[in-house]
Each structure stands twice: as structure tokens, then as C-alpha cells.
Amino acid sequence: METAARRQRDLRQRETLFLDRARKFLLSHGYHGLTMDRIAQATGYSRGTIYQHFRSKEDIIVALINRGMAQRLSMIERAAGFQGRTRERMQAVGEAVDLFMRLYRDDARVAYLGNAEAVMQKASEASLNTMKGLLHQTTAIATGIVREAIEVGDLTLKPPATPEILIFNLWAITEEGHASGMMWTPPSELGVSNPLDAVINGCEMLCDGYGWRPLSHECNYSAARQRILGEIFPEESRKLGILDADWRGRRKNRVVSN
């Protein structure tokens, strides 16, 4: 049994090595510059060994996307546990996505580069099913918060609106807003100097339009953001330097007192 466990560990380490090298080639040379030959040369393994792990380079790309999606999902799961009103919890989910995009920008770019028809057509059904599963888990968390908002009276949706449509609207603003920084035409050329502020304002206006209480003029969502960063994402916020001095002091005092 110990031998089998060691073998599985070695296989995982080798697979991680292949993915890490492929990620570098994809980011530096693009889809066409990523080849099995290059991965083999960079890792010292044969192409046959790589094919034992991945059916094609498209499977490798989807595996990289899935790795990033799993990381983002773990951050969203943490965010969903924020202690606050339902709209604040959804705000926490949005902060998780924002932090992921800023801390793991290369992983976000991999997803942007890999989300192409040429990749999806050639990737295996198993890898695509894994991707769909991660996406469904993510959306289930978000729609769950919307359904809770309806149950507690924070939100009333009038047909044809549904929790899924509301989440799709928020997703479209958030995902496309962040992805704009990876497009050929930068947001500044479209007259948008601060894409993050534009995304936050867009989500606030959308939630206000749906009547999700408390409305933006009824709640200090800037203060709620600092609570979210300080309570749920203190380490991530520290790395980015986006946590107010007040919250940094509170966290330091807690550490000292403990």
C-alpha cells in the first residue's frame, strides 16, 4: 500500500511539473507555441510519458483552467461564509473574484487564452466535464445566496427575472469587466480609467435596479468591503496592500492578544 501511495504521489508531482511548464509556454508563446515537444524538452520526459497524463495539449490547457477555477472556487466558498446581509455576502463573493483576478492574474489569463473554440473542440469529455462541474459549483453558491435573499425578504424578483438570470447579469459585468484588461483594446481607450471601480459600480447599480436591500444609499458598502477584506481575506489583502490601516491594526492586535 505504501508503494502504491508513493507511486500516486510521484504521478501527481509529474503531472504538476507538466502543467507548470505548459503554463509558462502558453503565457509566453500562446496557443500555437505550446507543443508536446516543448513540454518534453523542458521537463526531460518523453512525449509518450506526457501522453500518459494528457490526451492532447488542449487537455493540458483545460487542466490549467480547471486548476485556476478550483482555486477561485475555494475563495468563493470562503466568501459565502461572510457574516452579513445577503447582499453583503454577494459582495463578498465579488471581492473573492476580484482578489483572484488580481493575485492570480496569469491563471486568469490562461483561462482567457484557453476559452477558445479550437481548445474546447479538441479537449476530452472528462476534462470538460470537470470544468462544467467547477462552474456549476460556483454558480450554485451565488444562486443560493440569491434564493436566501428572497426567503428573508431582502429581494423580490418579478418575472421573467430568476436567480439564475440575476447571477448571469452579475457574472457578465464582473467577468467581462476584469477580462477587459487582457484584451487588445485596453479599457482606457474606451474612456474607462478604473475598470475595477466600473465593475463595482455596475454591480451596485444592477442590484439596486433589482431592489436588493439594503440599497446602496442605505448601506455603507465601502465599509462592508473593508470588513470582508479584513475578516475573510486578510492575507490576500495584505499582499495587495488594499486593507485600511484601521483593519490592519485590529488584526495585529488580535494576533498579539492571542
pLDDT in tens, 112-150: 889 899 999 999 999 999 999 999 999 999 999 999 999
Hey, how many other C-beta atoms are within 10 angstroms of the C-beta on 248? 15
CA distances from 224 to 93, 201, 208, 219 (A): 12, 15, 16, 8
The pTM of the whole model exceeds 0.85: yes
From the list 208, 202, 193, 213, the residue with the least C-alpha distance to 171 is 202
Sorted by where each starts, the structural domains of the chain and their CATH numbers stand as 1-53 (1.10.10), 59-257 (1.10.357.10)
Tell me the per-residue pLDDT of 65-98, one tens digit each, with 9 for 90 and over: 999 999 999 999 999 999 999 999 999 999 999 9
How many other CB atoms are there within 10 angstroms of residue 242's CB atom?
Answer: 16
pLDDT of the residue at 190: 79
Predicted confidence band of residue 3 (pLDDT cuts 50, 70, 90): confident
Q: Is the pLDDT of residue 252 over 50?
A: no
On the question of pLDDT at 255 being above 50, the answer is no
Distance, CA of 42 to chain centre: 28
Secondary structure of residue 196 in the 3-state scheme: helix
Residue 222 has pLDDT above 80, yes or no: yes
